[in-house]
């Protein structure tokens, strides 16, 4: 991908800032516009298990987004030397998303929490791949790009943990909201979505709540045309929708994911119970809805890109 093409995708809102082409310096075609059409028909990956999970570590539960499953698994894999490093995301000053290569188990905790902001996670992939056993935690778009890059990676085992994702937000949203509600963006300690409200938690204890409907303009077209709620190209997928408070929904997608998950369960770092089929079906229903709506946006994107002479497969 040359810079000109990336500029076009950015101007059309089709670049999710996944960072893949910045790392590869030439990723053709962009994995966020050349999405397998099958995902629009069937966005549900094959699964080997569906669970409700929760960390058993009180320190993790204090800082994590939901049940701390992701942080607990990553920390355990580093502690037990199953993995050498993890590519995670931290939030820096001025709400800057910072991809981090983490090797020390205790540093995993400083990356806990969901950052509702487009983040160029994969810019740091090259550094991570200098190791032999690597964990990557990311959104479906990050993992979609990683699945393409991975084809050319030799002698490195990658454990892929994906987050469920409905959509993301532009950084400008936080600037606008900080002006409207009179807060400093560096005072944001947590952000999250519950019952169609976006919540911003501030260091002084105040919580700002905004109906999601009012924030639609801050969601880029790349999310509108993204068919994946549940990441397909991963070993383990983790979310929280329809889970009890401070718990996760965890889907196991691969044999590797199953092995990792079983070790975590046996070691006692997470509590695990089976997910009720009705709850699972409710999540699947939303996943199908997302894919169906994304299909329309994709057709529009194809037209837009044709006008710019960018080929979409
Ligand atoms: C933009 C976004 C949208 C989401 N939408 C949904 C949804 O619709 N439904 C649902 O069930 N769940 C959604 N999630 C997932 C949910 O918010 C939690 O991340 C998930 O439940 C895991 O919780 P946890 O307590 O195990 O995470 P934690 O233990 O707190 O770990 C979170 C991990 O996520 C990584 N991370 C955080 N933000 C990002 C980011 N922007 N890009 C890449 N990696 C990141 C961090 O490195 C950290 O390791 C979304 C997350 C994000 C970031
Ligand atoms: S979506 Fe990712 S690969 Fe595509 S142009 Fe943007 S940063 Fe590059
Ligand atoms: S909706 Fe898709 S493109 Fe948007 S942030 Fe989530 S995974 Fe990435």
- Model confidence over 180-231: pLDDT tens digits? 999 999 999 999 999 899 999 999 999 999 999 999 999 999 999 999 999 9
Q: Is 20 in the pocket of ligand 2 (CB under 6 A)?
A: yes
Q: Whose CA is nearest to atom 4 of ligand 3?
A: 223
- Model confidence over 95-145: pLDDT tens digits? 999 999 999 999 999 999 999 999 999 999 999 999 999 999 999 999 999
Ligand 1 nearest-atom number relative to CA 66: 25
Q: Is 168 in the pocket of ligand 3 (CB under 6 A)?
A: yes
Position 71 in a domain: yes
The rounded radius of gyration (Å) of the Cα atoms in the chain is 19
Residue 110 Cα to ligand 2 midpoint, Å, equals 27
Q: How far apart are CA 1 and CA 17, in angstroms?
A: 13
Q: Closest-lying ligand to the alpha carbon of 287?
A: 1
Q: Mean of the pLDDT values across residues 15-33?
A: 88
Range of the domain at 49: 3-168+219-307
Among the residue ranges 22-31, 46-55, 91-100, 131-140, the one predicted with the least confidence is: 22-31
CATH of the domain at 123: 3.40.640
Q: Full-prediction pTM beyond 0.95?
A: yes
Q: What is the DSSP string of 19-49?
A: -HHHHHS--SS-TTTS--THHHH--PPP-SE
Position 209 in a domain: no
Question: How many domains in the chain?
Answer: 1
Residue 17 Cα to ligand 2 midpoint, Å, equals 5
**Which of 214, 226, 120 is CA-nearest to residue 173?**
214
């Amino acid at each position: 991908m040359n810079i000109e093409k990336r500029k076009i995708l950015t101007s059309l809102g089709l670049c999710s800032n996944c960072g893949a082409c910045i790392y590869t310096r030439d990723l053709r075609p962009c994995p966020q516009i050349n999405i397998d059409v099958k995902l629009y028909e069937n966005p549900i990956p094959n699964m080997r298990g569906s669970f409700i999970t929760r960390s058993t570590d009180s320190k993790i539960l204090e800082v994590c987004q939901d049940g701390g499953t992701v942080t607990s698994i990553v920390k355990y894999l580093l502690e037990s030397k199953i993995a050498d490093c993890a590519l995670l995301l931290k939030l820096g000053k001025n709400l800057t998303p910072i991809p981090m290569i983490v090797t020390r188990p205790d540093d995993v905790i400083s990356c806990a929490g969901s950052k509702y902001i487009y983040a160029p996670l994969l810019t740091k992939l090259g550094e991570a791949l200098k190791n032999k056993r690597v964990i990557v935690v990311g959104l479906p778009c990050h993992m979609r790009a990683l699945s393409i890059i991975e084809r050319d990676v030799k002698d490195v085992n990658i454990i892929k943990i994906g987050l469920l994702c409905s959509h993301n937000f532009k950084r400008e949203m936080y600037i606008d909201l900080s002006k409207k509600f009179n807060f400093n963006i560096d005072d944001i300690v947590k952000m999250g979505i519950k019952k169609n409200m976006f919540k911003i938690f501030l260091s002084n204890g105040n919580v700002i709540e905004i109906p999601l409907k009012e924030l639609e303009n801050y969601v880029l077209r790349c999310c509108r045309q993204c068919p994946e709620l549940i990441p397909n190209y991963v070993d383990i997928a983790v979310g929280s929708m329809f889970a009890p408070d401070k718990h996760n929904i965890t889907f196991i997608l691969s044999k590797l994911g199953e092995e990792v998950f079983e070790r975590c369960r046996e070691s006692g770092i997470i509590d695990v119970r089976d997910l009720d089929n009705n709850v699972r079906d409710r999540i699947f229903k939303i996943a199908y809805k997302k894919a169906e709506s994304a299909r329309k946006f994709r057709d529009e994107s194809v037209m837009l890109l044709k006008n710019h002479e960018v080929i979409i497969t």
